[in-house]
Structure 1
Amino acid sequence: MAPETRAMQADDTANPGMLWVQDGAELFARAPSPGAPACAGCHTEASLQGVTARYPAWDAATGRPVDIEGRIDLCRTRYQGTTPLAREGRDLLALTAYLGHLSRGSAIAPPDDARLAPARAEGRRLFTTPMGQLGFSCAACHDENRGRRLGAATIPQGHPTGYPLYRLEWQDLGSLERRFRNCLTGMRAEPFTPGSAEAVALTLYLMQRAAPLAVETPAVRP
């Protein structure tokens, strides 16, 4: 990251992602429909500090791991009596940015839960397996060639510390799934279905791989 990009991320008055954080705070405090409880009716800001650093996590009712977006939608359907939010839609990005901002500075620490082990192993397999017509793997770039150049860009280690983040290339806030979609498309591979088991498994592995780095949401990237 250039010094200018780092400075933009560090200054909340200059970080474009803070616009989504503000929207998320309003959604958190507002009931999604008449008669339904608001998120703030069950949760306080203090109770949610660090929560993003602990996802994906196991959901006992469905018997599967869920990412933070999935947890928000389960809360909506179970406790607020309303419909899930669209993946990559403005409202879900805003709520996840708000929760991520509450967790900013917390060390990433996915749960030490044996039930997550199969999904974590699947995420590692997806990260290291060549995919698509070009036969690239995530590890080929982010492990084997980190720090080198791909065109004009430096190849990062691929740690998901700042999602959802504002990418200057997008001129928009985007989720980690959007980054997956961009990478897979570039590899000429079939993108994951939003919210799929594959996407959650890869997210779980990447969060474990990034521990104990700190949450940076909303990060700014080139």
Structure 2
Amino acid sequence: MTPIKTAIALFAGTGLVAGLAVAGPGPDEDQLVIEGETLITEVAAPEDHPLDTIYSGWRFRSDETQALEIDDFENPAMVAVEYGLDLWDTAAGSSEKSCADCHGDVDSLAGLRANMPKWNEAAGQPWSLEHWINWSITEHQGAEPWKWESEEMLAMTALIGLQSRGMPMTVETEGPMADWIARGKELYYTRVGQLDMACNQCHEDNWGQMIRADHLSQGMINGFPTYRFKWSGLGSLHRRFSGCMKNIRAKPYKRGSDEFVALEAYLAARGAGLSIETPAVRN
């Protein structure tokens, strides 16, 4: 069965098949240049990757959407980044200390987002950036942790992620991380939900196709947290995971769950070499 026939079979009865194009375009040839820096949006896939070449989701977006990410002044996510800067300098909790009191300028965290999720020896598992932020808030500031999708958390992850913009994704794949990446890979290929679908069926088997107005990308995660028009605001990677599961009528795992962290780890390894774009803009 051809990829397009497979996709038609997969989406039959979902309301999506009516917009499925017969021959969807692949990624465009545009280059992503922000503040004079050219970001890597296309790279040869890592060894043993199911794809030959991997592309940032930016390459699948319309010219209008791409233009918003190119210009920091126009990027709607930069409002959250400004809020993140305010939070960075604001004392909080029983310690009455701010993030800046310990870390100095936020650019001291350059490279951190590119390594996420990162192994936490004390916890015995990898942590997403949100986990690390909440640990620092409770441990060092003596303050209450932020909710995963709160304005504060999204602003801080956008601010910290921005410090790594242009750096390649380089998540650790050896040692104890290997088991978590393998677990995430299994989740990626496991069919779930009423529609009996898996991540790979859209982002590996049918990337480049059109489903209604959506141009399917390879599902790379180098731009999160991302501003999505569908959300009218910023959202975390785990929110995107949850939304995908709801679309196929599956019960989503909780944000910050072991399942979503494992999936994040696998996708970070799957997108190795692509530049961090945080905060990206998508439809």
Match runs of 1:37-116 below 5 Å: 37-43=97-103, 44-116=105-177
Corresponding residue of 2:202: 141
Tell me whether 1:180 sits opposite 2:265 in the alignment.
Answer: no
Give the counterpart letter for 1:205 in structure 2: Y
CA deviation string 1:104-162 (max 9, x = no partner)? 11100002441111111110011111111101100110000000111221111000011
Corresponding residue of 2:265: 204
Corresponding residue of 1:163: 224
* Greater helix share, structure number: 1
Distance 2:186 2:281 in 1: 28
CA RMSD of aligned residues (A): 1.1
Tell me, what secondary structure is at the counterpart of 1:220?
A: strand
Distance 1:188 1:91 in 2: 30
CA shift in 2, pair 1:134/1:112, >3 Å: closer
Provide runs of 4+ in structure 1 moved above 3 Å: none
Give the counterpart letter for 2:93 in structure 1: S
81, 100, 107: which one pairs with 1:21?
81
CA deviation string 1:65-112 (max 9, x = no partner)? 100000101111221112210010000000000011111111000024
Following superposition, the deviation at residue 35 of structure 1 comes to 3.4
- TM-score, normalising length: structure 1: 0.97
CA deviation string 1:175-206 (max 9, x = no partner)? 11111111000011110112100011001111
Partners of 2:203 and 2:217 within 8 A in 1: yes
Distance 1:120 1:79 in 2: 30
| Uncovered stretches (5+) of structure 1, i.e. residues with no partner | none
Distance 1:201 1:112 in 2: 12
Corresponding residue of 2:72: 12
Identity of aligned residues (%): 40
Tell me, what secondary structure is at the counterpart of 1:114?
A: coil
Tell me, what secondary structure is at the counterpart of 1:193?
A: coil
Distance 2:221 2:112 in 1: 15
Between structure 1 and structure 2, the one with the greater Rg is: 2
Give the counterpart letter for 2:95 in structure 1: G
Give the counterpart letter for 1:91 in structure 2: E
Following superposition, the deviation at residue 33 of structure 1 comes to 2.8
Tell me, what secondary structure is at the counterpart of 2:176?
A: helix
Tell me, what secondary structure is at the counterpart of 1:42?
A: helix
Following superposition, the deviation at residue 34 of structure 1 comes to 5.4
- TM-score, normalising length: structure 2: 0.76
- The number of equivalent residue pairs is 222
Tell me, what secondary structure is at the counterpart of 2:97?
A: coil
